[in-house]
Chain A
Amino acid sequence: MKLKQFYKLLLFIVLIPFLSSCFEVIEEIAMKNDGTGDVVLTINLSQSKTKVASVMLLDSVQGYKVPSKQKIQQELNEAVAYLRKSEGISNVKSTSDFNNYIATISFSFKDVSNINNITKNILAQQKIKATNTSSYNYNKATKTFSRKYQAIGTAKTEFNKLKAKDKAVFNGATYTSIYRFESLVTSSTNPASNVSKSKKAVMLKSSIMDLINGKINVSNSIQLSK
């Protein structure tokens, strides 16, 4: 008996039926009063690490090809290389932890609008259609930070085309955005957002399912004290 094959089969029988997993996507932006700032993007699959580890041992799951560790690392490197070339972006770093399945990318920007097209372009590079249009803006004069977000209608229809089994992957996945400022926040228009006790940060947490379905909109306009 080919032990490796047997092992793969075993994992398949044992683990795949429960392939709903939890993962976190976190976006952190720290704005300085002069309009520059830093971004940290984190994707954390640690809660599902048993499943991810199992899936990584398989060639494909539910009809999707499973990327190898090398392939994931390579794609992360490509994203970093792309960022380094982007206008107004500097100090690009990435980390990856294949024991806990956590990856981060961090960088600094000259102006928050520099990052507007980045996510979209990175996704496009990987041949993934963006599911939303999102743009950031910081007005130094009025000290307003705003994010405009519009879910693309087709995202929902595309998503609904997926098999129930595949959709289940997104059950329990969360998206968190944190905006941090040097000045105090006087107002934040998105009702789903929370202002920290220190009044210097705004957080919005939502399930990825709600984002895809358009139940939650992450647009926000944050007024800082002058």
Chain B
Amino acid sequence: MKKILIAIALFLSFNLAKAQDLVKKIPANAFTVATIKGDNVFKLMFVKDFNESFVGKKLLTETSKSLDKSFTSIEDFGINLEKNMYYFNQLSDSITYNCFLIPIKDAKKFENLIDSKEKKFTQQGDIRTMVLPDSTSIIKWNNNMLYFVTGSIKGSFFADSVKSARYGIKDIRFQSDDAIVADSAAVAVDSAYATTDEPMVEAVDAPVVEKVKVRKKSTAKKNTKKTVGTKKTGKKKTAKKSKKVARIDSDFEEAREFAVDTASAMTPVHGIVDEQYDTYQQERLEQDAKKKRLAFTWMIAQADQIFTGSYESIENNKSYTASLDNKAIAELWVSSLQDVYNSISPEFGAYGKAGLMKGYGSLNAKLFMDDKSFRISTGLELAQEQADAYKKIMNRKLNKNFLKYVNSEKALGFMSYSIDTKAYLEEFPKLMKQTYGSLLGGKMDEEIDLGTELFSLLLDEEAVSKVIKGDALFVINGLNTKDVTYTTYEYDDDYKQKEIVKTKKETLPDFLFMFSSEDHRLINKLIKYGVNKNYVSVENNIYKVLEKKSPIDIYFMIKDGIVFFGNSLTEMQGISNNQYNSNKLSKLHKQLLSKNNFSFLFNAKNLVGKVPDSEIGGEETAKKFNSTLEKMGNVYMKSNPIKGRLVSADISAEIPNGHENALKYLFSLIENAAK
């Protein structure tokens, strides 16, 4: 019974905490959401520790100095540090909003922070608003949250004269008298705009979602040609065309033609070019100011909406909620790559509709820090079809026999990958078609089909996959020193030069590259050809590439269904005689290699002191080099298995011993770098 009660209490408190989270204030159609999780951050480092850290002290003294106040703790800023802070943006066809939502603990403290003579804020109920100079952004807050918004108008939207006219904004270009007639028409509409706020509210209430927008774009495109942006170098042809349009417009608006504002009226109809240019400049400035005012009105409405409106929150977006992780310190979510591409593509022109990113869904990245490492985890949602294709391709594990040849005690690093060659060759044409088919706008569908068929016909996927199965491992098992000769000079009593040959030690990494192969016939034929043509020499089944230009020797051989390449003869001989020292694979390395389709690891520690000072460039450089390496833990990357439609990969960097956790280590790094 007690347990149940506790469970209910926990559940309630969890819900309560969630209810207070500002995420509910983020609209469902937010495009990007970034989160910094205050509670997780300050679990790693207490606020007190932060204040006393180098970064914290710097932040506090700098803020104190610039605001002429005295802060001793970041808590003095009035921000609730135990809660999540958010950034999100919202896109529509006409404006982009960049917004921050920050939890407030003590509004008085926050007001104290921003309070100054020049900056005043207004209060309505418990909502306070401050407009930043130049009216480009707004800060709004109450006792629980702070909202910062800045908006930027999209040029492409106002290049569409029909749309811009709705907001009394006209497209200005540098041209002669006829334009003035056209101007008057637009100005007339302007006056109409002044009497009604409706269009703005409409735009704010329903920020247009991407899909709708793309459709709208087609009309916009036609018009952009006629009314070339705000460029002053309107080409003659376009200018003429637009004059025509302008005339029609002006006929249409004949009745209002007298509503010409004074600025246009003052413009001499047959003035000299300079004067016209000045007018043009002035008008352009006016239009820009109008756009800015419009953006400001929209921003105010948007901010009000966040505080008082009711709307669907991003919490209801499954893609978003699925991307979250309780343990992350920071998170980033982008609604869909396809949408990102489409949203910027109008600026790309005709390629906009191509949908190059078709099949790629939302993207997310998460940052983790704990007592052992930093980790960044990234994920990408695929369309079902694509995900299925990748699943087939990824359906292979690394050859277990490869693991024998990794010596974790010495290895500087490795890289492995395993894919199913057959599946890859079969799926590859489909994936290509999906990506490039849309790029060509469906014009070449037949040709692409033909190409992919031909590809399958020419290649026997099964046969190829027997020669190269699709898994490979590249490993550097330490460094090796060898003697190298070089020429230098000696001088006798008369300083006569004498050429002499000296030897020196050179350190080179020993690498080993291997891939699985079932069918050696082709490779054997190639080798035979190489031997006959003296490109390759052979001794005890180990082949040596005879390439004079190569600064290192390269050996290769085939053994137990594995093709090996390497630059150390001893290593190759060891493998050949089954004497290669195995069983030195660490648990981490084994996991990385055997569980993932792709893995990469760099172990800097195994490099410390292994390279002679003389080769790094002197003792001093070597010391720095080694101490940097010593501080580095393992750095590794891996791909995760596909889950549902999500492909993901992780990058981790271990922190060295003697540091409590990754965040504190990061702070110590910053402190060291600043010294």
Contacts and interface: CB of A to CB of B under 8 A. Distances in A.
Say if A and B assemble together.
yes
Interface of A: 1, 6-7, 10-11, 13-15, 18, 20, 24, 26, 28, 44, 46-47, 49-51, 53-54, 56-57, 100, 102, 168, 171-172, 178, 180, 196-198, 200-203
Of B486, B491, B497, B614, most buried by chain A (CB within 10 Å of CB) is B486
A145 B504 CA distance: 38
Contacts of B472: 1
B509 A201 contact: no
Interface in B503-529: 504, 506-509, 511, 513
Contact of A171 (B489, B493, B549, B617): B617
A49 B486 contact: yes
Contacts of A11: 551-552
Given A18-B611, A50-B552, 6 more contacts: A6-B513, A15-B508, A26-B489, A47-B504, A50-B506, A203-B495
Interface of B: 468, 472, 476, 484, 486-489, 491, 493-497, 504, 506-509, 511, 513, 549-552, 554, 611, 614-618, 621
Given A47-B486, A180-B495, A196-B495, A168 B617 contact: yes
A46 B506 CA distance: 13
Contact of A28 (B494, B497, B509, B611): B497
A178 B615 contact: no
A197 B616 CA distance: 36
Nearest to A49: B486
A201 B621 contact: no
Nearest to B611: A18
A140 to B, nearest CB: 23
A20 B621 contact: yes
Given A14-B509, A20-B621, A178 B497 contact: yes
A168 B613 CA distance: 13
Contacts of A26: 489, 497
Contacts of A198: 493-494
Contacts of B468: 1
Of B513, B549, B611, most buried by chain A (CB within 10 Å of CB) is B549
A222 to B, nearest CB: 13
Contact of B484 (A15, A50, A56, A178): A50
B621 A46 contact: no
A225 to B, nearest CB: 16
A197 B493 contact: yes
B615 A20 contact: yes
Given A18-B611, A26-B489, A201 B618 contact: no
B488 A172 contact: no
A45 B487 CA distance: 9
A200 to B, nearest CB: 6
A51 B488 CA distance: 17
A175 to B, nearest CB: 13
B616 A178 contact: no
A28 B550 CA distance: 33
17 contacts: A6-B513, A14-B509, A15-B508, A18-B616, A20-B621, A26-B497, A44-B487, A47-B486, A49-B486, A50-B551, A50-B552, A53-B550, A57-B550, A57-B551, A172-B617, A196-B495, A198-B493
Contacts of A46: 486-488
A44 B488 contact: yes
B486 to A, nearest CB: 4
Contacts of B552: 11, 14, 50, 54
Contact of A178 (B491, B506, B621): B491
Contacts of A28: 497
Nearest to B547: A7
Contacts of A100: 486-487
Contacts of B611: 18
Contacts of B496: 201
